[in-house]
């Protein structure tokens, strides 16, 4: 028959609370973290007697008129009972004792301390002490053998030991518990107990079951468990007769078993779901007193009383209440605070442990045998058995096999078989939390730790205050704030500190902002929430603050205190984060089942164009886990971490999906170790977190050290070279998506970062292509080439042709044509837009003369300039900053490191060639076949020439190319253009000498290259450039400290603008007159070159089309060696 659960009442301030009965059972004695011992005549006693024993009382025991307490001043004190007169100190430790107990006759006490020591002391003569050493961590609990031969102890080192009291030796030790570094971080306080009278069995709560060990043989006789237990058991106690055993869990469940039959007789749920930390059985009748970790006292009556009969309505109502409690996430099924150190797993009512060997992940629970509860069920046939209601046992399977068509709910009601619910059980909802904070119940805790700084809260007897510390003290100095309003959540940014408190009976919930970056003198503001509306989560962004309340509202404020938009949330908030203009909200979409949370995500941009990106999408979590951290990377990409240590990041390049980027559990040494995330960086790739040994969160003191973990995407076969390169490539792509996002939203970023990322990605693709080529995976090579840029595809064509993969080379050349066509179209559009913008700026009054790019250049001039691009453009490296650059892989196709291409080999000097095997005139000119600074690796060529070479080579493409039109170079800034003009004369003359030295023999050259000096003279000069040549000496004499050409040009521009309009026009006309004669010479020279080469090129085309394979010549040895060194060891 069910026990009667009386309403709980307040006993002590929140914290660990202990309870015991006096010898006769006439009163209940409790002690708590307020340092008081209270004596209750019964649960309804409104004025219990109170004895103050110290600042905090951790444990109490009562026997023969002696009240013994373990107090926070590291002593074990004695008081007379019930008078409460101090009667001396029995023993001292170097730190506080955690548990104190009497032996059977009251002659001795045993105490275990956080200094790893256990002591047994004579009560009448405290000098008679025995010390037990052997534990390697704080002692959690103790139990005397009723025969005074053995003493059992449990410790944070994970072991349970049985000591021989007489000689202080350890009889046996079992490694049963999770290791931790302190009692506060222990998953369970493991209050073990010997069976009264005989001492035949020792009961130890381990995880979700009670293990019973036989005396002297120390063998595990059996385990007691129940499918209704969803969280770790904290404490056990025996009935005085030794027939029944009661256990309490960390989520407020009390279970009673008959040890002989191993049947579960009672299940009672704490009304608020708090951890049971004290349990005492009445010495004579069926009463159990219990206390929780919040200081409350409760009482169960009629426990295991076979004589009592209860009405059916009482039983049914209790079942109904219990079942409805499951769906009440806020009150009854608290399941432990999700930020509490005890809550290492999300509770699931469907999980049951029969013994240690059972698989935790089984969703369909099977029992080793049906529960024998007929002697209880016979009390009333209309009552519903809770066990069957909550348990998907083997009965369900048998019934389904017998008659699958029958509805389970319509089974006949008989005493041996009852109605039961066998479906998935709801998961209690996770409570709201602030990222980077530690649990609320701690006296010293982190309110927030983020990339800006740390906010700590101290709430003890001496002080209730908040300390704010900045990582960079140049932002603001450290601040100390009083916490009179008892703020519970906080956030910190470069602009402000945001605090919020819950409402009480007297005051409303408040949002308090300290805007320290404000330029005026009033730097604080406070807003009161409406009545019955509590702030549950807050965050700060750039110029705004947000608060989510219990009324499912999100309120936006400016950082100065102006109320902005208010909107409804789709569900109760879990956590929020802000970065720049982005607001990241996680909320409950619904009720999860089988231990899973059901969370949703909203990501809003609060800029001028307010928009929502993921709108109500589900937030993916690991099975049976909950959310522990929500935030942004330093670059502004949303990220979050779950309780299984998986870090996920928003993949903007894949339709705003979530990708796992790190598993912190891989870096943990022990099972109970965790990493507490404080920040994510994409460039460089760093996960900043604090290692916590034996805990989920760090202590405030000593100051924790931050560790840096690397990212790793969960790709298959990561041990192989292929798997590693694939993971590195996609990680590089994903971790540089933020650059596209910044460009799209109008933010500046360093162009070199993107160039470097693209270069790194293309090198990885080339290596993968080489590996696939070696393995004869040609289709895979084309797939890889599809991911490459235009220039990298050209290198892949060269590599394929030199590896004698002609079909692959042909396929790659077709792909290159497609890519070139796409690239030409997009770049033409971009250049037209940029040129229009540039002309508008020029016309806006920078200067009124015609510039180099305002005059149309002749096509043949562009082509001849492009022939020198391998040399000229290396000098002309003033990078242009364009936000939306499509192709910035920085290697031109006519690499100077490649040997001359013979007929039959692929010619990639002209990117737009329709046929890669066609030998063009350009391929025989020295400008293409120059061999400077030879390298053994094709990939070394990738970072030598400037980005502009791509555009120039395209301009130099053969006129007959069916796909690519020549494009003019992108306009450069005025200074860069002028600087390149003056720098070229000296540097190119030197380069010509190098060409002559390194290529003394070049039989394939039929036409001499146009000299760089002539090429330079063909370039039209602007009026400003001619004026600067004449006035350079004046500028240098006035400014002798000018060493950089750019400084001279700047000064020249300033002076040139001061000239009158007539003078400037005269210089411009002078420049135009010089250009005309140069242009005529250029046309004449170009016509001669074209006539000389036309007939020969036609002949070669005919030959190549008729007999391509026969014309192929063997490659020289040095080329083969270079390629094999790059891709793989060939022989």
pLDDT digits (tens, 9 = 90+) for 372-415: 443 433 344 444 444 444 444 333 344 444 444 444 444 444 44
Distance separating alpha carbons of residues 118 and 1106, to the nearest angstrom: 98
Distance separating alpha carbons of residues 817 and 1000, to the nearest angstrom: 35
Q: What are the pLDDT digits (tens) for 36-71?
A: 999 988 888 888 888 888 888 999 999 988 999 999
CB atoms within 10 A of CB 966: 20
Query: Model pTM?
Result: 0.47
Distance separating alpha carbons of residues 48 and 991, to the nearest angstrom: 100
Outline where DSSP puts E strands in 450-562: 453-459, 464-470, 479-482, 489-492, 497-501, 510-514, 524-528, 535-540, 544-549, 553-558
> What are the mean pLDDT values of the chain's consecutive 10-residue runs (1131 residues total)?
81 90 90 90 84 90 91 90 86 90 90 92 86 91 91 92 90 90 87 90 91 89 88 91 91 91 88 89 89 90 62 39 45 42 41 40 40 40 43 40 42 49 88 93 91 91 88 91 91 95 90 93 93 94 95 94 94 95 94 93 86 83 94 94 95 92 91 92 93 89 92 93 94 92 85 91 94 92 92 91 90 90 83 74 53 44 44 40 42 40 40 48 40 43 43 41 41 46 43 42 41 48 82 83 80 82 83 59 52 51 45 46 50 40
Residues whose CB is less than 8 angstroms from the CB of residue 582 and which lie 6 or more positions away in sequence, other chains included:
541, 603, 604, 605, 606, 632, 636, 638
Q: What is the DSSP string of 1090-1106?
A: HHHHHHHHHHHHHHHHH
Distance separating alpha carbons of residues 971 and 834, to the nearest angstrom: 8
Half-sphere exposure for 896 (CA within 13 Å, toward CB): 25
3-state secondary structure of 392: coil
CA 507 to chain centre: 37
Distance separating alpha carbons of residues 937 and 127, to the nearest angstrom: 83
Quick check: 948 and 938 in contact, CB under 8 A? no
Burial class (CB in 10 A: 0-12, 13-18, 19+), 480: exposed
Placement of tokens 């502004």 in the chain: 636
Q: What is the dihedral of CA 396, 402, 408, 410, to 10 degrees?
A: -140
Quick check: 295 and 14 in contact, CB under 8 A? yes
Question: DSSP secondary-structure letter at 367?
Answer: -
pLDDT at residue number 712: 94
Selection from 242, 249, 366, 234 nearest residue 304 by Cα: 242
Q: What are the pLDDT digits (tens) for 829-841?
A: 887 877 777 776 6
Residue 290 phi, psi dihedral angles, 5° rounding: -140, 150
pLDDT at residue number 489: 95
For residue 88 the two structure tokens come to 């001396």
Q: What angle do CA 160, 165, 171 make, to 5 degrees?
A: 45
Quick check: 953 and 910 in contact, CB under 8 A? yes
Distance separating alpha carbons of residues 990 and 702, to the nearest angstrom: 64
Per 3-state DSSP, the chain is made up of helix, strand and coil in percentages (nearest 5) of 30, 25, 45
Distance separating alpha carbons of residues 449 and 434, to the nearest angstrom: 10
Outline where DSSP puts E strands in 41-138: 49-52, 57-63, 66-71, 75-80, 86-92, 97-102, 108-113, 118-122, 129-132
> CA distances (Å), 862 to each of 557, 946, 955, 992, in order?
57, 17, 7, 20
Buried b / exposed e along 416-432 (16+ C-beta atoms within 10 A): eebebbbebbbbbbbbb
Q: Which residue stretches of 970-1060 are H helix?
A: 974-998, 1012-1018, 1023-1038, 1045-1058
Distance separating alpha carbons of residues 851 and 975, to the nearest angstrom: 12
Q: What is the DSSP string of 708-761?
A: EE------S-TTSHHHHHHHHHHHHHHTTHHHHHHHHTT----HHHHHHHHHHH
Facing residues of 604 across strands?
A: 583, 612
Placement of tokens 């730097």 in the chain: 523
Half-sphere exposure for 376 (CA within 13 Å, toward CB): 22
Distance separating alpha carbons of residues 694 and 755, to the nearest angstrom: 44
Q: Can you say whether residue 302 is alpha, beta or left, with left for phi > 0 and alpha for psi between -120 and 50 degrees?
A: left
Q: Give every strand in the sheet of 118-122, ordered side by side.
A: 97-102, 108-113, 118-122, 129-132
pLDDT at residue number 315: 38
Placement of tokens 């089942």 in the chain: 593
Half-sphere exposure for 1068 (CA within 13 Å, toward CB): 17
């Amino acid at each position: 028959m069910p026990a009667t659960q009386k309403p709980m009442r307040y006993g002590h301030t929140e914290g660990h609370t202990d309870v015991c009965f006096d010898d006769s059972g006439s009163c209940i004695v409790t002690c708590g973290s307020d340092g008081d011992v209270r004596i209750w005549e019964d649960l309804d006693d409104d004025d219990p007697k109170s004895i103050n024993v110290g600042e905090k009382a951790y444990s109490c025991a009562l026997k023969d008129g002696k009240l013994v307490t373990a107090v926070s001043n590291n002593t074990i004190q004695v008081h007379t009972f019930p008078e409460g007169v101090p009667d001396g100190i029995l023993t001292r430790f170097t730190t506080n004792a955690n548990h104190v107990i009497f032996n059977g006759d009251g002659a001795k006490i045993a105490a275990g301390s956080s200094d790893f020591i256990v002591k047994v002391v004579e009560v009448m003569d405290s000098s008679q002490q025995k010390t037990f050493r052997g534990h390697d961590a704080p002692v959690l609990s103790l139990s005397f053998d009723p025969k005074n031969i053995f003493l059992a102890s449990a410790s944070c080192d994970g072991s349970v030991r049985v000591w021989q009291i007489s000689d202080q030796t350890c009889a046996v030790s079992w490694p049963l518990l999770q290791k931790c570094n302190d009692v506060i971080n222990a998953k369970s306080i493991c209050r073990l107990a010997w069976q009264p009278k005989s001492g035949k069995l020792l009961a130890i709560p381990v995880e979700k079951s009670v293990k019973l060990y036989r005396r002297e043989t120390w063998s595990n006789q059996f385990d007691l468990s129940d499918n209704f237990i969803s969280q770790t058991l904290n404490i056990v106690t025996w009935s005085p007769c030794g027939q029944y055993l009661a256990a309490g869990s960390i989520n407020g469940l009390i279970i009673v078993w008959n040890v002989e039959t191993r049947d579960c007789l009672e299940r009672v749920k704490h009304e608020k779901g708090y951890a049971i930390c004290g349990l005492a059985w009445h010495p004579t009748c069926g009463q159990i007193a219990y206390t929780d970790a919040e200081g409350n006292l409760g009482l169960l009556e009629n426990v295991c009383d076979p004589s009592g009969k209860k009405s059916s309505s009482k039983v049914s109502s209790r079942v109904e209440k219990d079942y409805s409690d499951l769906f009440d996430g806020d009150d009854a099924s608290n399941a432990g605070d999700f930020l509490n150190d005890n809550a290492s797993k999300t509770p699931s009512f469907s999980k049951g442990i029969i013994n240690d060997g059972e698989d935790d992940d089984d969703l369909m629970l099977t029992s080793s045998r049906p529960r024998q509860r007929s002697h209880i069920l016979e009390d009333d046939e209309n009552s519903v058995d809770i066990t069957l209601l909550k348990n998907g046992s083997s009965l369900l399977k048998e019934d389904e096999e017998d008659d699958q068509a029958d509805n389970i709910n319509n089974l006949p009601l008989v005493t041996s078989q009852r109605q039961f619910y066998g479906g998935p059980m709801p998961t209690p909802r996770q409570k709201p939390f602030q990222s980077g904070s530690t649990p609320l119940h701690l006296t010293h805790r982190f309110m927030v730790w983020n990339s800006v700084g740390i906010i700590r809260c101290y709430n003890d007897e001496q002080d209730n205050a908040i300390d704010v510390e900045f990582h960079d003290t140049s932002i603001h100095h450290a601040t100390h704030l009083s916490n009179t309003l008892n703020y519970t959540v906080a956030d910190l940014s470069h602009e402000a500190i945001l605090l919020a408190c819950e409402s009480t009976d007297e005051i409303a919930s408040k949002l308090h902002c300290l805007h320290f970056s404000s330029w005026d003198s009033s730097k604080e503001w406070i807003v009161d929430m409406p009545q019955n509306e509590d702030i549950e989560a807050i965050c700060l962004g750039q110029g705004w603050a947000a608060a989510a309340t219990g009324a499912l509202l999100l309120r936006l404020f400016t950082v100065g205190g102006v109320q902005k938009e208010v909107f409804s949330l789709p569900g109760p908030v879990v956590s929020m984060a802000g970065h720049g203009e982005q607001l990241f909200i996680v909320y409950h979409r619904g009720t999860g089942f089988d231990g899973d949370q059901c969370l949703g995500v909203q990501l809003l941009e609060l800029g001028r164009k307010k928009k929502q990106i993921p709108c109500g999408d589900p937030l993916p979590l690991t099975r049976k886990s909950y959310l522990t951290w929500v935030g942004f990377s330093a670059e502004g990409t949303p990220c979050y971490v779950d309780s299984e240590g998986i870090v996920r990041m928003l993949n903007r390049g894949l339709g705003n999906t979530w990708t796992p980027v790190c598993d912190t559990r891989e870096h943990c040494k022990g099972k109970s170790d965790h990493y507490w995330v404080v920040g994510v960086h994409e460039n460089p790739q760093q996960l900043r977190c604090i290692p916590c040994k034996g805990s989920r969160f760090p202590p405030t003191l000593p100051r924790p050290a931050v560790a840096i973990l690397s990212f790793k995407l969960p790709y298959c076969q990561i041990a192989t070279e292929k798997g590693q390169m694939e993971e590195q490539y996609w990680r590089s792509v994903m971790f540089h998506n933020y650059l596209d996002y910044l460009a799209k939203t109008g933010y500046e970023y360093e162009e070199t970062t993107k160039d470097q990322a693209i270069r790194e990605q293309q090198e990885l693709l080339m290596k993968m292509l080489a590996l696939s080529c070696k393995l004869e995976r040609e289709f895979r090579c084309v797939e890889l080439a599809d991911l490459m840029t235009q220039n990298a595809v050209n290198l892949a064509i060269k590599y394929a042709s030199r590896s004698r993969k002609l079909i692959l080379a042909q396929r790659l050349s077709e792909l290159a044509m497609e890519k070139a066509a796409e690239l030409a179209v997009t770049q033409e559009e971009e250049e037209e837009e940029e040129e229009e913008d540039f002309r508008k700026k020029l016309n806006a009054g920078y200067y009124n003369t015609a510039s180099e790019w305002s005059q149309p250049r002749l096509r043949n001039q562009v082509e001849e300039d492009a022939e020198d691009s391998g040399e000229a453009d290396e000098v002309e490296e003033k990078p242009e900053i364009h936000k939306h650059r499509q192709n910035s892989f920085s290697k031109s196709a006519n690499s100077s490191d490649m040997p001359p291409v013979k007929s039959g080999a692929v010619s990639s000097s002209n990117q737009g060639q329709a046929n890669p095997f066609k030998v063009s005139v350009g391929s025989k000119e020295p400008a293409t076949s120059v061999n400077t600074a030879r390298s053994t690796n094709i990939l070394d060529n990738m970072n030598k020439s400037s980005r502009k070479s791509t555009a120039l080579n395209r301009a130099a493409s053969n006129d007959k190319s069916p796909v690519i039109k020549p494009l003019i170079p992108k306009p450069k800034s005025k200074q860069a253009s002028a600087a390149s003009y003056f720098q070229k004369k000296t540097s190119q003359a030197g380069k010509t000498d190098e060409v002559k030295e390194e290529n003394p023999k070049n039989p394939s050259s039929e036409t001499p290259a146009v000299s760089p000096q002539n090429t330079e003279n063909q370039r039209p000069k602007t009026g400003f450039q001619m004026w600067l040549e004449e006035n350079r000496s004046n500028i240098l004499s006035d400014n002798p400290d000018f060493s950089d050409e750019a400084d001279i040009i700047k000064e020249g521009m300033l002076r040139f603008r001061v000239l009158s309009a007539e003078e400037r026009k005269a210089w411009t006309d002078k420049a135009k007159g010089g250009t005309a004669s140069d242009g005529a010479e250029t046309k004449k020279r170009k016509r001669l070159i074209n006539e000389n080469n036309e007939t020969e090129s036609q002949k070669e085309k005919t030959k190549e089309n008729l007999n391509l394979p026969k014309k192929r010549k063997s490659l020289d040895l040095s080329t083969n060696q270079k390629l094999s060194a790059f891709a793989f060891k060939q022989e």
